[in-house]
């Protein structure tokens, strides 16, 4: 009699344990954790390049800040974020750049509240920190816009983050303006073989796989189309992924994967 009772008790406890294990879907439906096993996506490298020259209007910088914040909020654990302010004249200038990686999850396979808090806090800090890159004050001392030199720094970021899906968001009118090239009003545009020649000389950065997304560049004039053509040729030569529809003036938001 006693053995029967103990056996019945054991069966009941075993059934309870089996039922208590639950399933991931069930747990997610029940609101436990954050849904069980995470759907993993390849890490990204998001690079923001800001043009604070006087040719960029205030509202354009404000738009850049808003779009940046929106895009940053979509970053995930392990994504790397980098920000550059366009050099003014050449690579000899000290760069104003910043890069960090969104903290990884503590456990890659498990969603934890602590990771979420860390991510949110980091992204908020990043947004706050990048405000300086869209600051509309103190731009009087900026003498030029050297996009080509800045892209060398971007290339360095790209190389420092292998295996990531790189996306470059350029908040600029894409008008290179330094001593050798001045695209404003097409005053000193590179000649037609400049890109091939520079490619042959090896003076162009390696932007292989980098998705280019331009915000603030006009495409409604012949001059602007000419400039666009130059950059399209340049990015193609440097290995970047440049698509025409990613060359915009005032987009509503920044697409997370603009090249796919």
Partner 1 sequence: MRAKQNEARAAAFQPKLKPVSDSDEGDAVRDPADNPHPTWLDRVKDAAAPEPSGDPLWTPEPVAPSDAVWDPTDTVEPAPTGTDGVEPAAEPFAADPDPGDLPETAGAALEENVGLSVRRLRKAAVELAVRDAEVDLPTTDTAGRAESEEELRDRAVSLFHNWQARERSRLNSLVAELEGRVTRTLGGIRLDNDRFERVTGELFRLQKRWEMNRTVVETTLEEETGQEEETGAATRQFKSHWYALAIGFLGIVEFLANAPVFGALLPRDPLTEQQIRYVAETSEGWLAGGMRVVSQFILRPDAALLAAGVVTFLIVLAHFFGHSVRSLLMHSSARRTGETLGKRSAGEFVVPMVLSGVGLILVLGVLFEARVTLGEVAADRFVQDSAKIEEFRRTASWLRVDGNLVAANEQANRADDLEALAKEQREYATSMSSLSFPILLLNTTLVLVAISAAYFHMWDRRRDRFNDSPFERQRREFVDLGDATQQRVVDAMGEAVRTIRDLASLLSERPLREAPALASQLEATIVAYRAENGRLRGLDTREIKAFSEPVELRLVVEEQDMRDLLMRDPEEYEAERRDLHENFEKIRARFTEEATAW
Nearer to partner 1, 77 or 228 (CB): 77
Tokens of 187: 């005053």
Q: Is 234 in the site for partner 1 (CB under 8 A)?
A: no
Written as one string, the DSSP assignment of 195-243 is HHHHHHHT-S---TT-EEEEES---SSHHHHHHHHHHHHHHHHHT-EEE
Is 75:100 a contact under the CB 8 Å cutoff? no
Q: Is 27 in the site for partner 1 (CB under 8 A)?
A: yes
Q: Is 13 in the site for partner 1 (CB under 8 A)?
A: no
Q: Helix, strand or coil for residue 114?
A: helix
Closest distance of CB 44 from partner 1, Å = 17
Rg, Å, the chain Cα set: 25
List the x/- string, 63-102, binding to partner 1 by CB under 8 A.
-----------------------------------x-xx-
Closest distance of CB 70 from partner 1, Å = 18
Q: Is 21 in the site for partner 1 (CB under 8 A)?
A: yes
Among 66, 106, 203, 225, contact with partner 1 (rule: CB under 8 A):
106
**Nearest-angstrom CA–CA distance, 231 and 163:** 25
Dihedral of CA atoms 166, 172, 174, 180 in degrees, nearest 10, equals -110
Among 2, 94, 185, 260, contact with partner 1 (rule: CB under 8 A):
2
- How many residues belong to the site for partner 1 (CB under 8 A)? 29
Q: Is 206 in the site for partner 1 (CB under 8 A)?
A: no
Q: Is 196 in the site for partner 1 (CB under 8 A)?
A: no
Q: Is 32 in the site for partner 1 (CB under 8 A)?
A: yes
Closest distance of CB 132 from partner 1, Å = 9
Between the alpha carbon of residue 15 and those of residues 7, 11, 28, 72, 87, the distances in Å are 12, 6, 22, 47, 68
Nearer to partner 1, 110 or 203 (CB): 110
Residue 238 sits at the vertex; the CA angle it makes with 218 and 256, to the nearest 5 degrees, is: 60
**Nearest-angstrom CA–CA distance, 126 and 68:** 10
Q: Is 113 in the site for partner 1 (CB under 8 A)?
A: yes
Tokens of 162: 């292998």
List the x/- string, 116-155, binding to partner 1 by CB under 8 A.
-xx--xx--xx-xx--------------------------
Tokens 């200038």, residue located: 93
Residue 205 sits at the vertex; the CA angle it makes with 57 and 161, to the nearest 5 degrees, is: 90
Closest distance of CB 175 from partner 1, Å = 28
Closest distance of CB 163 from partner 1, Å = 19
- Give the footprint of partner 1 on this chain (CB under 8 A): 2, 16-17, 19-22, 27, 32-33, 36, 98, 100-101, 103, 106-107, 110, 112-114, 117-118, 121-122, 125-126, 128-129
């Amino acid at each position: 009699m006693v053995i029967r009772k103990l056996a019945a008790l054991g069966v009941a406890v075993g059934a309870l344990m089996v039922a208590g294990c639950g399933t991931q879907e069930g747990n997610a439906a029940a609101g436990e954790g954050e849904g069980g096993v995470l759907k993993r996506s390849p890490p990204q490298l998001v690079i923001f390049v800001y043009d604070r020259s006087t040719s960029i209007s205030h509202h354009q910088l404000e738009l850049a800040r808003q779009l940046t914040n929106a895009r940053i909020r979509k970053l995930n654990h392990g994504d790397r974020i980098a920000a550059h302010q366009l050099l003014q004249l050449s690579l000899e200038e000290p760069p104003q750049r910043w890069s960090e990686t969104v903290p990884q999850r503590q456990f890659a396979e498990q969603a934890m509240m602590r990771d979420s808090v860390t991510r949110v806090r980091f992204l908020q800090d990043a947004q706050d920190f990048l405000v300086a890159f869209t600051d509309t004050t103190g731009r009087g001392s900026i003498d030029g816009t050297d996009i080509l030199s800045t892209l060398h720094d971007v290339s360095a970021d790209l190389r420092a983050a292998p295996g990531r899906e790189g996306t470059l968001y350029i908040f600029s009118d894409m008008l290179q303006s330094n001593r050798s090239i001045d695209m404003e009003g097409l005053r000193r545009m590179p000649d037609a073989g400049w890109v091939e020649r520079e490619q042959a000389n090896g003076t162009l950065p390696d932007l292989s796989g980098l998705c280019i997304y331009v915000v603030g560049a006009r495409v409604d004039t012949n001059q602007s189309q000419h400039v666009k053509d130059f950059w399209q040729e340049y990015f193609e030569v440097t290995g970047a992924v440049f698509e025409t529809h990613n060359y915009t003036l005032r987009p509503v938001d920044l697409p997370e994967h603009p090249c796919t």
